[in-house]
Structure 1
Amino acid sequence: MDKFTNSAWFMRIVAFALAALLFISVNFEMESDKKSLGLSTAPENGTETIENVPVEVYYDRENLVVSGVPETVDVTLKGAKSLLINAKSQRDFKVYVDLSDPEISMGDRTVTFKISDLNEKLVATIDPEYAEVNVQERMTKEFKVDAEYNSSLLEEGYTAGQPTVSPETVKITGAKDVIEKISYVKANLEIRKGLNESVNGQATVKALDRDLNKLDVAIEPASVAVSLKVSIPSKKVSIVPEQTGKAKAGVRIKSISVDPTEVTLYGQEASLDKINALNLPVNISKVDGDTEMELNLSKPESVQKMSLSKATVKIRTEKVDVEDKDTEEEAEEVVVEEEKPVDKVEPETTESKTFTNLKIIPVGKQDDQEVELDTDVMSITLNGKAEDLKKISKDDISLTVDVSNLDEGKHDVELAVKVPAGVSWELDSKRVAVSVSMAQEEEET
């Protein structure tokens, strides 16, 4: 035993064992110290998802239009938590689609999203991974703007002319196939209900296809100034004093006059056409001498408003003997009888006949004009003797609208009516809306 313990190999083994124990002891203490200080020998990994990261698209913006690329994507990052926290707070990386190749082909294609400026120790996953995009040639074309408004919001009896637009044209830029789909360029003027005065405002311009779907294009300018002239049809008629009641004994009415002699009525044109005078009842039963009085004018139900509400009536009289009363009454009766034929038309000799769906014919159309009527048919009522009306057919009636002097745009034009002699006529409306357009060459940029 002594011989073994005193041997060189024994001493070597003991020394190696002591060295191993010392190494293990020192390393165990160091690991314990690191843990007590909150340190780790290996980084702690994690996962973070960053939502709504903007996507950049690289392509030739002067000559191409790219559609279909989402504005944002979600990015999931994996790696050391310390790096994840920094990446999420700083967002200093970029997600992009590269279509900058000058030889890129037009049409539909599938592209993958790429990421740059991300710490190389982090692993990124992009959702979605790819996008279906469309690449088209970029085109700019000039279009005329048509202004619109909701005519049902006008106050009853009021009408509006064709709205004017400034500027009259806009430049629209987009993909060639989208530009070719544009059928209408509209600017809708928002008005309030019960509008009864002219209005000026701004309206956003929209490009629409034939089915009135809004198209994704850039419009310059994006809005235009629209002016709408609002008015109400008017007609000036005479104020006719109408004697009522019976004069007092010994008083004879020599004359009745009114001041002013005319009043302006406002309302729908069809209603105004039926009014030729405004009667003003004047009660003479209390008049015992020359009198001047102010009376209220009664507004017809079909009239929206009048230029004045009162009129001054002057009555001139003379004194007569009471025994001449019978003679006076006879004279008054004669006057009444003489006035009847002037003011009245014998209704029993007049009849009406209505013709429907009469075609309205545009006349004076130029070769380079396109003319469209809001309505190309209308009804007409003829008034006259029964025997005359029986002889009249649709072929004897002509409704035309003269477009020879109309510029491009929308116009309110009066109809020209031809009917056989001896009859009068009434229309649903004496005017019709006419849209005129010209042939227009395409302009590309």
Structure 2
Amino acid sequence: MDKFTNSAWFMRIVAFALAALLFISINFEMESDKKSLGLSTAPEISTETIENVPVEVYYDRENLVVSGVPETVDVTLKGAKSLLINAKNQRGFKVYVDLSDPEISMGNRTVTFKITDLNDKLVATIDPEYAEVNVQERVTKEFSVDAEYNTSLLEDGYTAGQPTVSPKTVKITGAKDAIEQISYVKANLEISKGLNETVNGKATVKALDRDLNKLDVTIEPASVAVSLEVSIPSKTVSIVPKQTGKAKDGVRIKSISVDPKEVTLFGSETNLEKISELKLPVNISKIDGDTELELDLTKPGSVQKLSLGKAKVTIRTEKVDVDQKDADPVDEEVVQEPAQDQEEETEDKPVEEDEPTAIESKTFNNVKIEPVGLQDGLNAELESDVTSITLRGKADDLKDITKDDINLTVDLSNLDEGTHDVELAVNAPAGMDWELGTKTVTVTIIAKGEET
């Protein structure tokens, strides 16, 4: 045994075994250290898709226009995961289309996307792979700008003039084919509903073809200043006082005057043409003597607004005997009753100086009955809007009286919806007795929009 252990071969075998154990131990520790540090001899391969990568186009921008190139593409990268993460976060690469060749021809062509500044150890796939583009000569031309707006947004009764534009012309640059398709250059002024005043604003300019399709061109300037003058037609008419009601016993209305005498109406020209005066109802039934009143002016339904809301009314009166009947002048064709022939009765009788003047009568048929004082939002329907009236008075006074000197009204100021019997008020020339064909009229009051 001692001989064996002391031999040279024994020592060699032991030394080899120790060397082998040491080698295995050292390599095992190195592998462990690599794994703990994240190192690997075989890197992990994966893929990553980066969406919406901008596309750059290289071409002669001074003389050419290129269309059809998408603004972005999707890029899928394949390689070591650490490299993918860095590429995704840094985005140091570029996707481009190269049309910079000076010999490039006009028209349609198919071009492929290229990528640059990407790590050589990464493989890129671009979606889409290619694009159909159109190359055209670049043209710049000057066009006049027409402003437009939605007229239906104006408030009722208001009108607008022709909108003005500044500047009046713009320069449009684009492909020759696109420039040749331009039929309209419009600047649309945005306004809100119910516009009733002049407006100044900015409007974006658009180039349109004959079918009003927007064209892909560059416009300089891109927007213009637009001014739209908005106004409302007006008409000045007289304020005409119209007495309503019946004067108290012993009181005669000598005159009714109004201040101011005129008012300006605002509305559509069509409606204003139909109005010649503004009537102001004046109820005299409570007047005891000379009186001044401030009365509201009633805006006609067809009018947008009035220049003033009130007017001062001055009423002058006089005291008369209770037995004396009178009426005051107001307003409309006439059928006159023939006067009795007095000559035959007085032929053989001497005429006394103080003999009273003969009393005659005159009948007016189909005199219009006018409703007054109707509240806003209501309509009135009269069962009959005409009647007859007979005047009696001195022949000299009667002969000059016409239907225009008589006014019949019904006062609806205190009436609500429903059917009412309303007494007629008579305005006739002073000194006349009168008798109506009917003293009352049936009136039905309903809300606007409920007419049958």
TM-score range, shorter chain: 0.5 to 0.7
Q: Distance in 2 between matches of 1:339 and 1:115?
A: 101
Partner of 1:238: 238
> In the alignment, is residue 209 of structure 1 matched against residue 206 of structure 2?
no
Write out aligned runs for 1:383-422 (5 A).
none
3-state secondary structure, aligned to 2:304? strand
Aligned-residue offset at 1:257: 1.4
Matched, 1:189 2:186: no
Gaps in structure 1 of 5+ consecutive residues: 1-10, 345-445
Q: Does 1:280 align with 2:280?
A: yes
Task: In structure 2, give the amino acid aligned to 1:256.
Answer: I
* Change beyond 3 A, Cα 1:244–1:88: closer
* Structure 1 residues 60-75: aligned runs within 5 Å: 60-75=60-75
Structure 1 match to 2:295: 295
**Alignment check: 8 A CA contact 2:34 2:40 kept:** no
Displacement of 1:102 after TM fit? 0.8
2:127 aligned residue: 127
Quick check: 334-343 or 98-107, which moved more?
Answer: 334-343
After superposition, the Cα gap between the structure-2 partners of 1:343 and 1:98, relative to the gap in structure 1 and judged at 3 Å, is farther
Q: Which residue of 1 aligns with 2:27?
A: 30
Alignment of 1:263-412 (within 5 A): 263-322=263-322, 324-325=324-325, 330=393, 338=401, 340-341=403-404
Alignment match, 1:118: 118
Counterpart AA for 1:154: L
Partner SS for 2:42: coil
Q: Partner amino acid for 2:190? A: E
One-letter code of the match for 1:33? M
Where does 1:9-28 land on structure 2 (aligned, <5 Å)? 26=23
Any gaps of 5 or more consecutive residues in structure 2?
Answer: 1-8, 327-358, 360-390, 408-452
Shift of residue 121, structure 1, vs aligned partner: 2.1
Identity of aligned residues (%): 76
Letter in 1 for 2:249: A
User: In the alignment, is residue 164 of structure 1 matched against residue 164 of structure 2?
Assistant: yes
SS in structure 2 opposite 1:83? helix
What CA distance in whole angstroms lies between the structure 2 residues aligned with 1:303 and 1:336?
A: 39
TM-score, normalised to structure 1, is 0.67
> 1:137 is matched with which residue?
137
CA distance in 2, matches of 1:92, 1:161: 57
For 2:121 and 2:24, how far apart are their aligned partners in 1? 29
Q: 1:246 to 1:77 in 2, by over 3 A?
A: closer
SS of equivalent residue, structure 1 residue 338: coil
Deviation at 1:342, TM superposition (A): 7.6
CA deviation map 1:16-37 (0-9, x unaligned) = xx99997898478526622442
Query: 2 CA distance for matches of 1:269 and 1:108?
Result: 58
Tell me what 1:407 maps to: none
Shift of 1:334: 5.3
Name the amino acid aligned to 2:27: M
Task: Measure the CA separation in 2 of the matches of 1:51 and 1:266.
Answer: 62
Partner of 1:366: none
CA distances 1:346-376 after superposition (whole Å, capped 9, x unpaired):
xxxxxxxxxxxxxxxxxxxxxxxxxxxxxxx
1:69 is matched by which residue type in structure 2?
Answer: V
The aligned residue for residue 261 of structure 1 is: 261
Q: SS of the counterpart of 1:30?
A: helix
1:52 and 2:52 matched: yes
- 1:216-235 correspondence runs (5 A): 216-235=216-235
- Please report how far the alpha carbon of residue 203 of structure 1 lies from its aligned counterpart in structure 2 after TM superposition: 1.3
RMSD between superposed Cα atoms in Å: 3.2
The 1:300–1:113 alpha-carbon spacing in structure 2 relative to 1, beyond 3 Å, is: same
Paired with 1:146 and 1:119, the residues of 2 have a C-alpha distance of 54
The verdict on how the C-alpha distance between 1:45 and 1:141 changes in structure 2, with shifts beyond 3 A counting, is same
Q: 1:69 to 1:321 in 2, by over 3 A?
A: same
Distance 1:58 1:341, change over 3 A: same
Return the offset for 1:280: 1.4
CA distance in 1 between partners of 2:156 and 2:74 (Å): 56
Q: How many angstroms apart in 1 are the aligned matches of 2:319 and 2:193?
A: 59
Judging by fraction of residues, say which structure has more helix.
Answer: 1
**Contact 2:65 2:135 survives alignment (8 Å):** yes
After superposition, the Cα gap between the structure-2 partners of 1:104 and 1:154, relative to the gap in structure 1 and judged at 3 Å, is: same
What secondary structure is seen at the aligned counterpart in 2 of 1:178? helix
Task: Quote the offset at 1:56 in angstroms.
Answer: 0.7
Q: Which amino acid aligns with 1:136?
A: Q
Partner residue in 1 for 2:6: none
Aligned position for 2:433? none
SS of the equivalent of 1:37 reads helix
Does the residue aligned with 2:401 lie in a helix, a strand or coil? helix
- Correspondence list, 1:96-107, <5 A: 96-107=96-107
Query: CA, structure 1 residues 242+149, in 2 after alignment: closer, same or farther (shift >3 Å)?
Result: same
Shift in Å at residue 272 of structure 1? 0.7
Give, in angstroms, the shift of residue 64 of structure 1: 0.6
How far residue 336 of structure 1 moved from its aligned partner, in angstroms, is 11
Take 2:248 and 2:129, find their aligned partners in 1: how far apart are those partners?
104
Q: Give the SS at the match of 2:300.
A: coil
Q: CA offsets, 1:173-213, max 9 Å, x none?
A: 11111111111111111112211111111111111111111
Look up the match of 1:395: none
Map Cα deviations across residues 402-426 of structure 1 (whole Å, 9 max, x no partner): xxxxxxxxxxxxxxxxxxxxxxxxx
Shift in Å, 1:84 = 2.1
- Amino acid in the other structure paired with 1:30: N
Alignment: residue pair count: 330
**What's the offset of the Cα at 1:329?**
7.9
Cα offset for 1:80?
2.4
Are the structure 2 counterparts of residues 337 and 34 from structure 1 closer, same or farther at C-alpha, using a change threshold of 3 Å?
farther
Task: Output the TM-score relative to the length of structure 2.
Answer: 0.66
* SS in structure 2 at match of 1:88: helix
Asked whether the equivalents of residues 73 and 127 of structure 2 are also in contact (C-alpha less than 8 Å), the reply is yes
Q: Partners in 1 of 2:121 and 2:287 — Cα distance?
A: 112
2:262 counterpart letter in structure 1: E
- The residue aligned with 2:94 is 94
